[in-house]
Amino acid sequence: MKFGKEFASQMVPEWQPAYMNYNHLKILIKEILIFRRLQRAESTPGYQANPPLPSKRTSRKRKVALHRAFNGITKINSNRMDKDDEVILVSAMQESEENYRTVFLRSSEDPGESELGFFKKLDDEFNKVIEFYKSKVEDEMVMEAEELSKQMNALIALRIKVEDPIFCSSSPMFSSRFTNEHISDVIQETKTHGESKMGSGRMNKEHEMVSLDVLNDVKINVLPETPRSSLKNAFSSSKLNFSFSNKELKNAERKLKQVFIEFHLKLRQLKSYSFLNQLAFSKIMKKYDKVTSRNASKAYLTMVEKSYLSQSNAVPKLMESVESVFIEQFCNGNRSLGMKTLHPKAKTDKHSVTFFTGCFMGYSLAFIIAIILMIHTRDLIHSEGRDQYMTNVFPLYSIFGFLVLHLLMYAGNIYFWKRYRVNYAFIFGFKPNTELGYREILLLSSGLSVLTLAAVLSNLEMDIDESARSSRTLTELVPLGLVVVVLSLAFCPFNIVYRTNRFFMIKCIWRCICAPLYKVTLPDFFLADQLTSQAQLFRNLLFYICYYGWGDYKSRDSSTCRGSKYYDNISLVIAIIPYWIRCLQCLRRLFEGEDSSQAVNGLKYFSTIVAVISRTFYVQKKGLALKLVAISTSSISTVFSTYWDLVCDWGLLRRHSENPWLRDKLLLPHRSIYFLAMVLNVILRLAWLQTVLDFHEAPFLHRTALVSFLTSLEIIRRGMWNFFRLENEHLNNVGKYRAFKSVPLPFSYENDKDR
């Protein structure tokens, strides 16, 4: 792999603009090379800018010449080498800010202008890297280290108070090993810019004592968020006081342990940032020397080695201190366990996933062909039981078809997110190395399709077979058995079928159901948006309950469900629940003061609820007045939702941007894809027209099949929305350099100084 691609692959995606622009500097070097060749071609008659490759005879002579004895060049070219060494002069214009500028000494030569531009761009890139790295270390890492010191003081005090109250009563002071032996020294030395003398300036604080009175200055907030706690906090603005219970201690240790893991990850990424950029400057200068036949890299790389990027030892020492504290305080001195926790192994792709995905896809294709052949040979399309089957059985299986299609769209999203370096694992908040790739999602979708198609094929076979008609009860229970299998796998407590991801999704679903009693995070409202595109799936689940609970499924008769007024009303409520959840989530975010535009977003979902209710009433009762109401409310909701999709969620339709009517920054290489996506989004948003135009059945499609087809189009639209929504979120994170999740701290200091 070339260095440029390797350099890009190891970048922190959200910090990409802060890295050295290696590709642009390569382009400048290529321009220097082209300029040199053109100048040589003009000055030398018969010179070829792109000379042909040497023949075998020429290369053999060259090889013999290279094998001759080396007599030295010191005496012959000593003056020439001294002159070549004086190509550039590098100095810090302002040493306090470390603003480096390079003076190019050969600007009078022919390609001097282009080389002068190269060094100007090189200096700009280096100063950008220095400024970013210094701000991250001194403005963020040191402040976080100070906060961690305070948090550990409070934790140690709470630990002693809970585990050894007798010691507390006899000795109100204790030694804070964490603060005095580890991070505080690094903080002090970094603040005074004494990184070069960090080993000699250590203060002797081994006998300093910290009073247990530190617990009087802090409040604790370690209880997990629950609907009950949310209601309690809504009427009380104060934090929870200490009760000095073992539960408080365990929750505080768990939270602070996660804070240390995240802080160590930040330090590792900063260390990698420093190393990669130093390597990039070394590579680009060697490439410059090779093209220009100069010797400028030595002077420039000497400056790089003496700069803050290379000389600062704050990050390595903070990493060492954090590791020592983590092993001592959270791993009982077990270094192997601590290092394993702080340095998790990188996730590797398994060949078995690809193998079984291919097998399941092959089985699915075989089942589809078998079902088509069975329908064609038995002429089931024109059979007497066609309408009964499509009305009662087809909705039972279409649920799994919707799920498979949604998983396929999600797998496609992950593939393109990875291809264009969208950090979806960080945005969704997955635990490190637990996120599923597109191969794993394809495995799940293909496995579910195999189960569904096998059940459909067996159901059709038992339905057609005369000898199996006596056991009609068993035939009708096949869809229910499939639901039981899928739900059992979803809620299985054993560590199989990606348990971490399953429980993460179940937790997000529960938080959506309990909205607005939980703080709304991106996975919560992102999942709720997915649920709004699966309204028909929830209606079919309701049909499951009614068909097997109250309907006579033995005779395949659903008149008890379909003709019931209560069933229709409950079906309407089921359809608007996902939109109501999103509306409540928007109100929660509005009251927390996150974004005032959430009021408008909540109004958008409320308009969708009104549109769904009006269309449902029109379908049930008909009438010109209801039709006009349905058309008007649906039109308002469509315009509202489309505008929000394109402008707010996708960040497009920026008239004065660098890309007209798009964003300033785009990930996809072709701008036409964005315009095509906008047009498709508008078209697919108009699927409600089939309801108000009384277009309930096509000549070649049954009504239930048509509804399923329109639902599939909505799922495809949602899959397309997912990519651009997360792309916009990723670019917002890049613009603010947000590459790490913020973990809530267990303790908060009351006084302004500590805060």
Rounded-to-integer distance, Cα 570 and Cα 589, Å: 29
Section 567-585 average pLDDT: 94
Burial of 63-88, coded b for 16+ CB within 10 Å and e otherwise, reads: eeeeeeeeeeeeeeeeeeeeeeeebb
Rounded-to-integer distance, Cα 475 and Cα 458, Å: 8
146 close to 187: Cβ distance less than 8 angstroms: yes
* 3-state DSSP helix/strand/coil % of the chain, to nearest 5: 70, 5, 25
pLDDT of residue 450: 97
- The encoded tokens of residue 286 equal 């060697």
Rounded-to-integer distance, Cα 389 and Cα 549, Å: 19
pLDDT of residue 698: 61
* Sequence-distant (≥ 6) Cβ neighbours of residue 412 within 8 angstroms: 438, 719
How many percent of the chain have pLDDT more than 90?
Answer: 45
747: helix, coil or strand? strand
Look at phi and psi of residue 164 and say left if phi exceeds 0, alpha if psi is from -120 to 50, else beta: beta
722 close to 714: Cβ distance less than 8 angstroms: no
Rounded-to-integer distance, Cα 430 and Cα 424, Å: 9
pLDDT of residue 177: 45
- The encoded tokens of residue 202 equal 């250590």
Residue 66's Cβ-side half-sphere holds a number of Cα atoms within 13 Å equal to 6
For residue 580, what pLDDT band results from cuts at 50, 70 and 90?
very high
pLDDT of residue 52: 54
Q: Smallest Cα–Cα separation from 188: which of 247, 146, 249, 248?
A: 146
- The encoded tokens of residue 691 equal 């309801």
pLDDT tens-place string over residues 11-23: 998 899 999 999 9
pLDDT of residue 78: 40
- The encoded tokens of residue 53 equal 């490759």
pLDDT tens-place string over residues 118-157: 888 999 999 999 999 999 998 888 888 988 888 888 888 8
Instruction: Give the start-to-end residue ranges of the domains of the chain.
Output: 137-267, 351-736
Between residues 32 and 173, the one the model is more confident about: 32
Q: Which of 33-42, 226-235, 505-514 has the highest mean predicted lDDT (pLDDT)?
A: 505-514
For 420-463, give the secondary structure using H, E and C: CCCCHHHHHCCCCCCCCCHHHHHHHHHHHHHHHHHHHHHHHHHH
pLDDT of residue 74: 41
* Sequence-distant (≥ 6) Cβ neighbours of residue 70 within 8 angstroms: none
Rounded-to-integer distance, Cα 310 and Cα 301, Å: 11
Between residues 418 and 596, the one the model is more confident about: 418
Burial of 519-544, coded b for 16+ CB within 10 Å and e otherwise, reads: ebeebbbbbbbbbbbbbbbbbbbbbb
Between residues 380 and 222, the one the model is more confident about: 380
Whether the per-residue pLDDT at 361 is higher than 50: the answer is: yes
pLDDT of residue 721: 97
150 to 180, 476, 690: CA distances (angstroms)? 12, 64, 63
Burial class of residue 405, CB neighbours in 10 A (0-12, 13-18, 19+): middle
pLDDT tens-place string over residues 484-500: 999 999 999 999 999 99
Q: Smallest Cα–Cα separation from 673: which of 658, 659, 685?
A: 659
Rounded-to-integer distance, Cα 736 and Cα 627, Å: 48
pLDDT tens-place string over residues 49-89: 555 544 544 444 444 444 444 444 444 344 444 444 566 67
Rounded-to-integer distance, Cα 184 and Cα 188, Å: 6
Q: Which long-range contacts (CB under 8 A, 24 or more apart) does 479-483 make?
A: 479/393, 479/396, 479/397, 479/455, 479/544, 480/544, 480/548, 481/455, 482/397, 482/400, 482/451, 482/452, 482/455, 483/399, 483/544
Whether the per-residue pLDDT at 633 is higher than 90: the answer is: yes
Rounded-to-integer distance, Cα 401 and Cα 554, Å: 24
pLDDT tens-place string over residues 437-470: 999 999 999 999 999 999 999 888 887 776 666 6
- Which segment of 257-271, 348-362, 545-559 scores lowest on mean pLDDT? 545-559
173 to 207, 281, 668: CA distances (angstroms)? 11, 52, 60
For residue 729, what pLDDT band results from cuts at 50, 70 and 90?
very high
240 close to 219: Cβ distance less than 8 angstroms: yes
Section 326-336 average pLDDT: 90
397 close to 455: Cβ distance less than 8 angstroms: yes
- The encoded tokens of residue 208 equal 């300093």
C-alpha dihedral sign at 232, 237, 242, 247: positive
195 close to 316: Cβ distance less than 8 angstroms: no
pLDDT of residue 169: 53
pLDDT of residue 167: 55
Between residues 379 and 39, the one the model is more confident about: 379
Strands 747-749 and 173-175, how do they pair? Answer: unpaired
pLDDT tens-place string over residues 185-242: 655 555 555 443 333 333 333 334 555 777 777 888 766 777 777 777 666 655 556 6
The vertex-300 CA angle with 3 and 128, nearest 5°, equals 70
For residue 111, what pLDDT band results from cuts at 50, 70 and 90?
low
How many percent of the chain have pLDDT more than 70?
Answer: 80
Look at phi and psi of residue 99 and say left if phi exceeds 0, alpha if psi is from -120 to 50, else beta: beta
- The encoded tokens of residue 116 equal 């002068």
Rounded-to-integer distance, Cα 480 and Cα 458, Å: 13
547 close to 555: Cβ distance less than 8 angstroms: no
Q: What predicted TM-score, i.e. pTM, was given to this entire model?
A: 0.85
* Helices vs. strands in the chain: H and E counts, helices first: 32, 6
